[in-house]
Structure 1
Amino acid sequence: MSGNQQATPARPRPPAGGSPFGRNPFGGGMPTEKSMNFGPSMRRLVRRLAPERTRLFAVIGLAVISVVFGVIGPKILGQATDLIFSGVIGRQLPAGTTTEQAVQAARASGNENFAAMLAGMHVVPGQGIDFGALATVLSWALALYVAASVFGWLQGYLLNDVVQRTVFRLRSDVEDKLNRLPLRFFDGQPRGELLSRVTNDIDNVSQTLQQTLSQLLTALLTVVGVLVMMFVISPLLALIALVTIPISTILTGQIMKRSQKLFVAQWTHTGTLNAHIEEAFTGHELVKVFGRGPEVEEVFRTRNEELFKASFGAQFISGIIMPTMMFVGNLNYVAIAVVGGLRVATGSMSLGDVQAFIQYSRQFTQPLTQVASMTNLLQSGVASAERVFELLDAEEQTPDPANPVPPTVRRGRVEFEHVSFRYEADRPLIEDLSLVAEPGHTVAIVGPTGAGKTTLVNLVMRFYELDAGRITLDGVDITAMRRDDLRSHVGMVLQDTWLFGGTIRENIAYGNPGATEEQIQAAARATYVDRFVRSLPDGYDTVIDEEGGNISAGERQLLTIARAFLSNPSLLILDEATSAVDTRTEVLVQHAMAALRSDRTSFVIAHRLSTIRDADLILVMEEGSIVEQGTHEQLLTTQGPYHRLYSAQFTGALVPADTESST
């Protein structure tokens, strides 16, 4: 029972708007990146700190205390300067006279500036420096600076905890997001690019938060505190210092506009280069075999050059901010020194106040300069955050139903009812397909490459969602079940073996983490894994790497079959499960899979037709449709597509290609 509509070959395609290039080591286009604005991205990044608000309030409180103590320090030191200056001047005046008499004497001698300065000072004629008072003032200054340092250290320690907890949650959110993304998303994403977002970009966000939050908070509080003290000392000089703020803001804003785009490009090119490197080294042997090394190197040079230009431009332009701010700060320093000196000469200010104000002017411009110097780091971090947010905002797979139907029986009856599916909306693939796989039966799916065989079993696993129709498992619509419940019924062995870094025992037990040692070894014996494991020096404790490089391809395939055997599923999917084993081992594996398939429904995708002769039902697919079905003997008798495939596989190789083409 099947529809016969024409369809295109079943090859996974990236979704519309996805990356235009696939996983190959020889080239591909650049992924398009839509940059968000700096402001919204920065606010979104800051909002991720919200769960740590209690600690943040403590951080702010400690920072306020630290800054207040640090800001009071220059004023105290100014008093020490006044004590020294007054002692020096007082010792030069005649003892026994009053300050008023000394002022009158200076005016009488025509020294009006000295008289005005003397009138504004607390001088005792004939008396030198009061070292007792000076020691008390300096002790207070020392205590304030020590306290400021201690509270600053506590603030930094607590802020580090806040940042690391925030990044921890961000990594967890990304991990959870990856688990909620549909397989369609990964079809259009190069692995290197995706890994760059998950690792490099998150690490860059962590570094940015760690290095900027503390300095930004301290800089903001310092500017406010210093500004208050400057107005207390001299409103005129404070207004002169304020002129630097709009100048600095305008200059910084203009530079940031130019550098932000380059920072986004820098991390985009970083991800693209990582993708190329990952693909090229994964297919290193293929590159060597086909002599494509020069092409790979040329692509690398091109993308490396693009990354160099973007990185150089971003760092150079943002690096202009620091010297620009220092220039503006130096101009402000000169203006304050000149005006302050004139006011001391006229007696309007004390020398200590001018000295304190000059210190405040440095403290005022220093935070602005720090913020400017952090701009490149901040922009880089926000650019990375944008890339992470794009991943977090990606469209997720359809959520599980609110009231899922729990699996009650495990018979393994699978039914396709008028199923339609396409990877792209304008390119049909499977149209109006219906079939039934009875419990305990083996259903083999054969056909040319791209006919839709793997797509069919992917739909059973709900790796993709249907466009029309439905699929039922034991009479229950699979969309009414939780994906975990559905997949707990299924064991899968793929053509591409997947093993993780760990022992052979751990890799087999992956299909059933609660399995006992006896069950693991029983599964290994049933799938002929035990025979080669016993020959290894460490047996089941042998550690294999992620690629399984220390065992053969056939042995890797056997391990994946043992893993499926151990999971004891009611529905078994074998996608070219014996493609990597030799002929002798294939015979053994066939016996193992026969035991594995007993009393459970099996879907077997095979190109080697010799492996599916005993199947209860063979489906022949072409261009997404079932064009023929029956047993091996029935299909050979009908002389249809299956007969042609079988003949081509077992007799076609005997006919020379040039002879066949000429007949």
Structure 2
Amino acid sequence: MSKDTKHTAGRPKGPVGGFGGPGGIAPGEKPKDFKKAMSGLGNYLGKYKFRIFLVILFAIGGTIFNIVGPKILGNATTEIFEGLMRKVKGTGGIDFDAIFKILMTILTLYGVAMLFSLIQGFIMTGISQKVTYELRKEISTKINRMPMRYFDTKTHGEVLSRVTNDVDVLSNSLNQSITQTITSVTMVIGIIVMMLSINGWMTLVAILTLPLSMLIISKIIKKSQKYFVQQQEYLGHVNGQVEEIYGGHNVVKVFNGEEEALKEFNKANDKLFESAWKSQFLSGMMMPIMQFIGNVGYVGVAILGGYLTIKNRVSVGDIQAFIQYVRSFNQPISQMAQISNQIQSTAAAAERVFEFLNEEEEDQTVENAVSTTNLEGNVEFKNVHFGYNPDKIIVNDFSAQVTEGQKVAIVGPTGAGKTTMIKLLMRFYDVSGGAILVDGHDVRAFNRSELRELFGMVLQDTWLFNGTIMENIRYGKPGATDEEVIAAAKAAHVHHFIQTLPDGYNMVLNEEASNVSQGQKQLLTIARAILADPKILILDEATSSVDTRTEIRIQKAMNNLMKGRTSFVIAHRLSTIKDADLILVMNNGDIVEQGNHEELLAQGGFYEKLYNSQFEESA
């Protein structure tokens, strides 16, 4: 982007995304339309109906085997108790064979339950990962179809949070919520049935603790939910601030801003600490309270069970089994409360993902599209009107005619609309009025992807990705041979520099490409544009980040590259575009003057003032 492009304060810059603070879903966040969000998620899960049926089957089976276990184990206790009583009375002893059979039955049941849990976990993990894989794939392809307008109104962090945080929430929730819901419901029903089979009065005493448990859990979740939301919000602030300071740590040090940065960090970190402490403390209270209520239930069951045992209405083994059921009873209840909260977060995450997937896309194809083959590169701006917002037009009645092979310079002060015209030419945005023609064809009559194949761009803000130098240059023409890449590097006067690097063309650039200088990065992007061999070349402040000697070499390479091609050069340093065939002088979105360098100086107008002011500054 050139300097006349205005960025929203705090927004990461660069042609390809940066990392903002994590947006995403906070625990407990509720969706706007729960049914619609879950319905959309259900459509993805619908592809795996048979597998989900197996998950349900194995989850229920494993839970039932676990529930039946204490009842059978109780029979072993009863057998030991009765054997001891027989031994005391002298009528027999403990039947160890019967106990051994009971224990083997228990081991078999628990073994099968574990196997069922492993199988359902394996299947459900596969389903959740396939669904999240599809969602990430769709989001990735969706990004490529989104209009530039969308990314100008959203931070990179917001977009990335859909791919990372929100999809991760879905992945974890799908993997846990479905199986936990099934097992919890099955366990609650199964435990109640088993308790009733032992004794109805004891079951009533145990169940009386249930409303109290649910009331306390709901109160705690409601209270802690807002702190979880705050925690996630402040975590985003802290992460964003750390990233911002780290990204500009050189500037912070130069201006002695460490103390102010630390003060701002501590302020955000204190808020994060407060909200995190409250949320974790409240959620941590849940287990001890539940244990206390459970212990009250144990006391009631123990007293009543002892009385019923004395009356020979319940066996000792059944008392043991019942106490185990009471101990297990509160666990699925608290799980269900947590799951209900998690499902809300799942629906909110799904809603954000589907909201992004349903965003308006730019038209990729056009019916009866004009072919780009055999085009010569004539460009005409015909009474162009444009505004980023419909109610605020910034380009008014822009008209210019450029013939094939001409070198056109676009100059003007910051904010004049120079880069905006390039965005319109490449259909990053469509004009609000008038038309832009390429060889007499409206650019809107081309398929966007084919239209952009006509252009090669070298921007002021260089973009190189984590990969070898060879791969970065080849990005301009994916099928290019090594020889073609090297030839492009030579044309860009960067070949000699590459050869001096430790691994030459195979040297890997790091994520920020900070292991080469700014000027060297610019030369590599120019080599990439040369390799693409475009019909129309766009240079947006391409030499602004290099020294004078490098600039001279780049200019020579550019002059060779621009021969026979229509070229648009955006420049602030007017000395670099003296040889342009046509200079368009812009101010406030309009062309105020046009002509070659000598003609414009002779007019003594706006261009002459710009040129002389730069000359005086350089002097």
Residue 492 of structure 1: SS of its match in structure 2?
strand
The CA distance in 2 between the partners of 1:572 and 1:366, in whole Å, is: 67
Cα offset, 1:132, TM superposition = 2.4
1:635 Cα deviation from its structure 2 partner: 0.9
State yes or no: 1:389 paired with 2:353: yes
Please say if residues 192 and 278 of structure 1, whose CA atoms lie closer than 8 Å, have aligned partners that are also in contact: no
Please report how far the alpha carbon of residue 75 of structure 1 lies from its aligned counterpart in structure 2 after TM superposition: 1.6
| Paired AA for residue 82 in structure 2 | S
TM-aligned CA distance change 1:632 to 1:265, over 3 Å: same
Counterparts of 1:47-62 in structure 2 under 5 Å? Answer: 47=42, 49-62=45-58
Which residue in 1 is equivalent to 2:62? 66
Mapped partners of 1:383, 1:312: distance in 2? 26
Structure 1 equivalent of residue 475 of structure 2: 510
In the alignment, residue 563 of structure 1 is paired with which amino acid? R
Shift of 1:257: 2.2
Q: How does 1:402-481 map to 2 (within 5 A)?
A: 403=367, 405-409=369-373, 410-481=375-446
The CA distance in 2 between the partners of 1:404 and 1:170, in whole Å, is: 32
Q: Contact (CA 8 Å) 1:252, 1:321: kept in 2 or not?
A: yes
User: How far 1:446 sits from its partner (Å)?
Assistant: 0.2
Contact persistence 1:212–1:374 (CA under 8 A): yes
Choose from 67, 73, 79 the match for 2:75: 79
Note the C-alpha offset of 1:272.
2.7
**Structure 2 residue matching 1:433: 3-state secondary structure:** strand
Secondary structure of the residue aligned to 2:428 is: coil
Task: Tell me if the contact between 1:499 and 1:548 (Cα under 8 Å) persists in the aligned partners.
Answer: yes
1:218 maps to amino acid: T
* Cross-structure match for 2:97: 132
Offset of residue 453 of structure 1:
0.7
Native 8 Å contact 1:565 1:596 kept in 2: yes
- TM-fit CA distance, 1:204: 5.3
Shift of 1:311: 2.0
Distance 2:444 2:290 in 1: 61
Q: Determine helix, strand or coil for the equivalent of 2:214.
A: helix
Give matches, 1:130-279, under 5 Å.
130-192=95-157, 194-195=159-160, 198-200=163-165, 202-203=167-168, 205-210=170-175, 213-279=178-244
> What is the alpha-carbon distance in structure 2 between the residues aligned to residue 184 and residue 273 of structure 1?
28
1:201-239 per-position Cα deviation (integer Å, ceiling 9, x unaligned): 544554455455544432222222222222222233333
Q: Which amino acid aligns with 2:551?
A: E
The answer as to whether partners of 1:82 and 1:351 remain within 8 angstroms in 2 is yes
- Distance in 2, matches of 1:404 and 1:582, equals 48
Counterpart contact for 1:45–1:385, Cα < 8 Å: no
The answer to whether 1:40 aligns with 2:34 is yes
Q: Is the 8 A contact 2:23 2:158 kept in 1?
A: no
45 and 218 in structure 1: CA distance in 2 versus 1, 3 angstrom threshold: farther
Instruction: Mark the CA change 1:55 to 1:531 in structure 2 (over 3 Å): closer, same or farther.
Output: same
Q: CA deviation at 1:146?
A: 1.4
Aligned-pair CA distance for 1:194: 5.0
Q: Does 1:586 align with 2:551?
A: yes
Q: Tell me the distance in 1 between the aligned counterparts of 2:21 and 2:82.
A: 75
Asked if structure 2 preserves the Cα contact closer than 8 Å seen for 1:197 and 1:271, the reply is: no
Question: Aligned AA for 1:450?
Answer: G
Find the aligned partners of 2:243 and 2:355 in 1 and give their Cα distance: 20
Secondary structure in 2 matching 1:168: helix
Name the CA distance, whole Å, in 1 between partners of 2:418 and 2:312.
95
Question: 1:596: how far off?
Answer: 1.5
Deviation at 1:29, TM superposition (A): 13
User: Any idea what the Cα deviations from partners look like across 1:336-381, whole Å, max 9, x if unmatched?
Assistant: 22222222222222222222222222222222244557788x3896
Q: Tell me if structure 1 keeps the 8 A contact 2:214–2:333.
A: no
1:144-177 deviation per Cα after TM superposition (whole angstroms, max 9, x unaligned): 1111112222222222222322332333333334
Question: Which residues in structure 2 correspond to 1:569-580 (within 5 Å)?
Answer: 569-580=534-545
Distance 1:143 1:653, change over 3 A: closer
The code of the aligned residue for 1:403 comes to E
Distance 1:52 1:575, change over 3 A: same
Is contact 2:227–2:276 with CA below 8 Å preserved after alignment? yes
Q: Is the 8 A contact 1:442 1:616 kept in 2?
A: yes
Distance 1:29 1:519, change over 3 A: closer
Distance 2:215 2:115 in 1: 36
Q: Aligned partners of 2:444 and 2:434: how far apart in 1? A: 11
1:317 and 2:282 correspond: yes
Measured in 1, the distance between the counterparts of 2:552 and 2:205 equals: 91
Give, in angstroms, the shift of residue 387 of structure 1.
Answer: 8.9
Whether 2:294 is the aligned partner of 1:329: answer yes
> Relative to structure 1, is the Cα distance of residues 318 and 180 closer, same or farther in structure 2, using a 3 angstrom cutoff?
farther
Please report how far the alpha carbon of residue 425 of structure 1 lies from its aligned counterpart in structure 2 after TM superposition.
4.3
- Determine helix, strand or coil for the equivalent of 1:416: strand
Distance 1:79 1:507 in 2: 73
Equivalence for 1:526: 491
- SS of the counterpart of 2:305? helix
The answer as to 2:363 corresponding to 1:399 is: yes
CA displacement, residues 363-420 of structure 1 (integer Å, 9 cap, x when unaligned): 22222244557788x3896498379538726844433346361523332233323322
Does structure 1 conserve the Cα–Cα contact (< 8 Å) formed by 2:24 and 2:349?
A: no
Give the whole-Å Cα distance in 1 for the aligned partners of 2:425 and 2:189: 63
**CA offsets 1:78-106 (integer angstroms, 9 cap, x no match):** 2222222222333444x7xxxxxxxxxxx
Residue of structure 2 equivalent to 1:349: 314
Quote the Cα distance in structure 2 between the aligned partners of 1:399 and 1:267: 36
Q: Structure 1: which amino acid aligns with 2:509?
A: I
Bigger radius of gyration among the two: 1
Q: Which secondary structure does the structure 1 equivalent of 2:364 belong to?
A: coil
CA contact (8 A) 2:366 2:445 kept: no
SS at match of 1:274: helix
What residue in structure 1 maps to residue 17 of structure 2? Answer: none
Query: How do residues 482-497 of structure 1 correspond to structure 2 at under 5 angstroms?
Result: 482-497=447-462
Pairing 1:548–2:548 present: no
Q: How many residues were matched structurally?
A: 606
Q: Distance in 2 between matches of 1:303 and 1:391?
A: 30
Tell me, in whole angstroms, the C-alpha distance in 2 between the residues paired with 1:448 and 1:381: 49
Identical residues among aligned pairs (%): 45
Distance 1:637 1:251 in 2: 85
Deviations 1:549-599 (A, max 9, x none): 232222211110110010111121100011122222222222211222222
The amino acid of 2:482's aligned partner reads E
Contact 1:12 1:187 in 2 (8 A): no
